[in-house]
Amino acid sequence: MIEWLSTNFGTIIICAILLLLFILAIKHIIKVKKAGGCVGCNVKNCKNGNCCHCHNTTAKQAIENEEEK
Q: Residue 10 has what pLDDT?
A: 96
SS3 of 36, please? coil
> Would you say 66 and 46 are in contact if contact means Cβ atoms under 8 Å apart?
no
**What dihedral do alpha carbons 52, 56, 57, 58 form, nearest 10°?**
80
Q: Residue 12 has what pLDDT?
A: 96
Tens digit of each residue's pLDDT, the chain (69 residues): 899 999 999 999 999 999 999 999 999 888 887 877 666 665 555 555 555 555 555 555 556 666 665
21-37 burial: b if 16+ Cβ within 10 Å, else e = eeeeeeeeeeeeeeeee
Q: Residue 32 has what pLDDT?
A: 80
**What dihedral do alpha carbons 46, 50, 55, 56 form, nearest 10°?**
-20
